[in-house]
Amino acid sequence: MAYHKEEKKKSLPTLLGGLTSFGSVANLIKNLKSENEFYELEVGEVLDILLTYEDLKEKKPVLSTASISGQETEFKDIGMAKIRLIKSQNGLEEDMCNWYYPLESNIRQYPLKGEYVVCVNYLGMQFYTQTLNFISHINTNSVPGLSDVIDKPDPGIFSTMYSFIDSGEEPPREEKEDTFSLGEFFTRNRLIRQLKPYEGDITIQGRFGNTIRLGSNISDDEDLGTTGLPEDTFGPSPSIKMRAGQLTDYYSQEAGMKGDDNSSKIGTFEEKFFELGHGLDSYVVEDINADATSIYLTTNETVPLNPVTAVHKARIHHAHLEYPPTFDGKQIILNSDKIVFNTKQGGLYSYTNLSTYFATNTAFVVDAEAGISLNSPGLIGMHTEGQVHIRGEKNIIIDTGDSKLYLGTSPKDDQKGELEPVVKGDALVDALKELTDIIMGLLYPGTPGVLADPSKLLKFKQDLEDNGFGFLSVRNKTQ
């Protein structure tokens, strides 16, 4: 809210006898002139805020404006804050303080109790905007009570007076019922730190270790032991880095940082936080391996991702890749404990110019209601050190067209003449029947020592050699 700051009135100068000089008159006019300073914006302390429907029912504000007159205002009031102005309302009873709307309609930062915001009056409505970076901490800048101080100290020393609140020097204590609360659920987290800035960065930083950095890869980083782009390659190298969960997996095995079996318990994390940077008051840098969930979009940068199959030293890791990938250049990297793709109406489409590679420490499972189709003009290979189990409730069909089917062998053995055709069962039965008939015909009485018709046996033998019966498969070969 706008206010005037009045200078203390000074005593009028005494005019001595004789002619009055021009300087004396000018000095008199200057002292009589009002030196009030006008302030359009005023800082206020947040006393309460409406965030839920229950808040609206219990605390619905009495609006001093008619900006939404005649309409149901309940849900339009979400985000309103009760504020006591530091200068013009200092010491005012909370019941007498006004409710303010958020100034921004689309991007909103909801303050906590005890934080300080900039207040303004536009078009007859009261708004608040911009939480003050009062003690320069990402998690909370709450220092309650400065709007209810009778003997106010110099504002310049406030940040020093309250710097201990988030410094990490003292562990958080359990709050008693009569102590100040930041909110119904929110508690202070002294481990949340701001991102380390680089030249030209734009960062959005949440209170909970969730951040978005619109940056580049042009700067050196002595803390990480990395260098930016060489001078001869300076140019656009934009990147977007989003993460949630500040370094929560730093000591977990999956992150590949320490290689031990410790889980990311907050106790262990808190005790060893000094190892992450420059102590509890330090900044932090995104770490795609140690942050809980990360999405990186880069254009000219190498990302030091630790694939989980490499961390666990899986035998299948890059086992059949001729050229293992490097995580550099234009890329999108997602890293988390779980990644879920779900399409409600359409399909899932993936197009790649080079290979598509999957590696897992456990099983790779595909379920398809209508069927599974594999199509490639090249080789489709399957290899296992265990069993291959193929089961069909109806039929199992292997159709080679005009090509050959090799069972337990490969075409190279066929060139050596080491393969045998697979026998056709029906054709073999027909041939054996014919052989039986011939033998039965030979049993009729005739001249002693002479076969009844030896030419039939000779012909049968020749047909066997020429595969005349057709029970030797031409397409299916085995050993």
| Rounded Cα distance, 413 and 478, in Å | 9
Q: What is the pLDDT of residues 183-230, one digit of tens each?
A: 888 888 877 888 888 888 999 999 999 999 999 888 777 666 666 666
Q: What is the pLDDT of residues 399-422, one digit of tens each?
A: 888 888 777 777 776 666 667 777
- The 420-423 sheet, strands edge to edge: 405-407, 472-478, 420-423
6 burial level (CB within 10 Å; 0-12, 13-18, 19+) = exposed
Q: Who has greater pLDDT, 256 or 130?
A: 130
Residue type, 91: G
Given pLDDT bands bounded at 50, 70 and 90, which one contains residue 70? very low
The widest CA-to-CA distance across the chain, in whole angstroms, is: 179
Averaged confidence pLDDT in the chain: 76
Which residue in the block uniquely carries the two structure tokens 């250049």?
A: 329
pLDDT mean over 59-70: 57
Which residue in the block uniquely carries the two structure tokens 């202070």?
A: 188
Those residues whose C-beta lies under 8 Å from the C-beta of residue 226, and which sit 6 or more positions away, are: 220
Spatial CA neighbour of 310 closest among 259, 370, 270 = 259
Instruction: Name the CA radius of gyration of the chain, rounded.
Output: 42
Given pLDDT bands bounded at 50, 70 and 90, which one contains residue 392? confident
- The 293-298 sheet, strands edge to edge: 202-205, 210-216, 238-244, 293-298, 331-335
> Residue 446 has what pLDDT?
57
Nearest 5°: CA angle at 284, between 280 and 287? 130
Q: Who has greater pLDDT, 110 or 56?
A: 110
> Residue 435 has what pLDDT?
76
CA distances from 276 to 22, 281, 284, 286 (A): 69, 11, 8, 11
CA distances from 442 to 132, 458, 461, 465 (A): 114, 13, 15, 22
> Residue 254 has what pLDDT?
57
Q: What is the pLDDT of residues 412-470, one digit of tens each?
A: 766 666 677 777 777 777 777 777 777 766 655 555 655 566 677 677 777 766 766 67
> Residue 263 has what pLDDT?
41
Q: Read off the tokens for 246.
A: 């500040």
CA distances from 324 to 309, 321, 383, 393 (A): 13, 6, 19, 40
Given pLDDT bands bounded at 50, 70 and 90, which one contains residue 19? low
Spatial CA neighbour of 132 closest among 153, 155, 151, 154 = 155
CA dihedral 451, 456, 458, 461 (to 10 degrees): -130
Q: Is the pLDDT of residue 67 over 50?
A: no
